[in-house]
């Protein structure tokens, strides 16, 4: 049974609607499970993991420093600070909502609470700001292709969390929405940085 927040507030039409949405999405996604697709989804989920994003959040400013691109120092530091604060906010939200993970077939093990999806929220915050900075500060036309690739990557990371059975669809959707709101604020801050 796909347990949902509806059990915490029985009779609520909102939570019943969320449960129906979660069940429908999981029913569709679970019908696509295959060995090859599972390998692909595990790779996608890794790109949204805290380890991968933390590594990139350290490497991007380090690379900017090594290449001596002084006008991008502040943007590199903003990228790192943005994800650090965003990830902390995600953990606070998880502790507030304390939603258990889905009780379905899990293709990977995952501990902690489910709502909102950290992978979805953090990938939107980190990769989204990186793409925004590239489009705003870059000069080559290929920056738009990279930004499009990043958008697809972020969507795949969210989908992988549902596919692997560690998040409800509503967790992922909430992660994207909260991450997008955070991203808008970070983009406005980045616009005030000279360079």
| Cβ neighbour number for residue 86 with a 10 Å cutoff | 23
User: CB of 179 within 8 A of CB of 165?
Assistant: no
Q: Reply yes or no on whether 140 is catalytic.
A: no
Q: How far, in Å, CA of 166 to CA of 113, rounded?
A: 10
Per-residue tokens: 9: 């507030």
Q: Reply yes or no on whether 119 is catalytic.
A: yes
Q: How far, in Å, CA of 45 to CA of 161, rounded?
A: 7
Q: Which of 4, 48, 167, 190 is catalytic?
A: 167
Q: Which of 119, 123, 131, 156 is catalytic?
A: 119
Q: How far, in Å, CA of 137 to CA of 133, rounded?
A: 6
Burial class (CB in 10 A: 0-12, 13-18, 19+), 147: middle
Which residues belong to the active site? 119, 167
């Amino acid at each position: 049974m796909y347990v949902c927040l509806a059990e915490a507030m029985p009779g609520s039409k909102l939570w019943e609607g969320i449960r129906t949405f979660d069940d429908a999405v999981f029913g569709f996604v679970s019908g696509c499970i295959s060995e090859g697709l599972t390998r692909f989804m595990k790779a996608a989920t890794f790109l949204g993991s805290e380890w991968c994003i933390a590594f990139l959040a350290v490497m991007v400013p380090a690379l900017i420093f090594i290449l001596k691109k002084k006008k991008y120092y502040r943007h590199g530091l903003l990228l790192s600070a943005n994800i650090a604060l965003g990830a902390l906010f995600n953990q606070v939200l998880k502790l507030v909502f304390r939603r258990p993970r889905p009780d379905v077939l899990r293709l990977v093990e995952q501990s902690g609470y489910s709502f909102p999806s950290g992978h979805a929220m953090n990938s939107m915050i980190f990769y989204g700001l990186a793409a925004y900075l590239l489009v705003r500060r870059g000069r080559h036309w290929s920056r738009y292709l990279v930004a499009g690739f990043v958008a697809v990557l972020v969507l795949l990371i969210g989908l992988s969390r549902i596919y692997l059975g560690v998040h409800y669809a509503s967790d992922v959707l909430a992660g994207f929405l909260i991450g997008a709101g955070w991203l808008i604020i970070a983009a406005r801050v980045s616009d005030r940085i000279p360079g």
